[in-house]
Amino acid sequence: MLENGASIEEVAKKYPRKVSIFGGKSAPGYYMAKLIIKLVNSVAEIVNNDESIDDLLKVVFIADYNVSKAEIIIPASDLSEHISTAGTEASGTSNMKFVMNGGLIIGTVDGANVEITREIGEDNVFLFGNLSENVEDLRYNLQYHPQDLPSSLESVLSYIESGQFSPENPNEFKPLVDSIKYHGDYYLVSDDFESYLATQELVDQEFHNQRPEWLKKSVLSVANVGFFSSDRCIEEYSDTIWNVEPVT
């Protein structure tokens, strides 16, 4: 439900309408990954059937995400999220595909996110969170010196714990919550969460209130991301690894 009795029109003036699309797969024995996918779908069921936000937010999980589906989703995306903890392969090549198709990135400072930023400029990407060189120290501190969670994250976890997304089994998502609250928070969700929210707010402002500026970022990103084209990559491999020359 909308807070403070606000109407859809009032909220729409402040925030852009969104469709949040998730895609991913889990290894057969990766229990926590399966639980995350289940949570995404449970959230989608609640959000997509809430008439009070019917025209504001939708959540979609793409089953069996693959190249054919990516060919449709990537060109249609305004923003792609590459937000894994720095140092844990926060990004690969998919974010390059999004940028080549005009989508901007919100991501952690790691992997290809850093390489893309080097090419397109910091003004055209939304980075947040800790640096990879700080991750191990932060993990150690959280494991042996637990800190109070940010109130924003505490609210989210409390809502999940309440069973709103799993009324038939209120403890279904307890392992996810406990991994953050009691088991050392290996992926530093508690440490990056407020930085992520602040950056999302900046994204909303840029997209909603400065549309020409957003389009400028998109165009500049496409214009400067050519370094990651397959032509350049194959030419470099040919020269430095395969030791072959092009045939005229």
- Domains belonging to the chain, first-starting first, are 1-65 (no CATH), 79-146+184-238 (3.40.50.2000)
pLDDT given at position 214:
94
Residues forming beta bridges with residue 131, ordered by sequence position: 109
**Each residue of 174-223: pLDDT tens digit?**
999 999 999 989 999 999 999 999 999 999 999 987 889 999 999 999 99
243: enclosing H helix or E strand: none
Contacts of 217 (CB under 8 A, 6+ apart): 104, 123, 124, 206
pLDDT per residue as tens digits for the range 14-54: 788 999 999 888 888 999 999 999 999 999 999 999 998 88
Cα angle 45, 48, 54; round to 5? 160
Nearest to 156 by CA among 129, 128, 190: 190
Q: To the nearest whole number, what is the mean pLDDT of the chain? A: 90
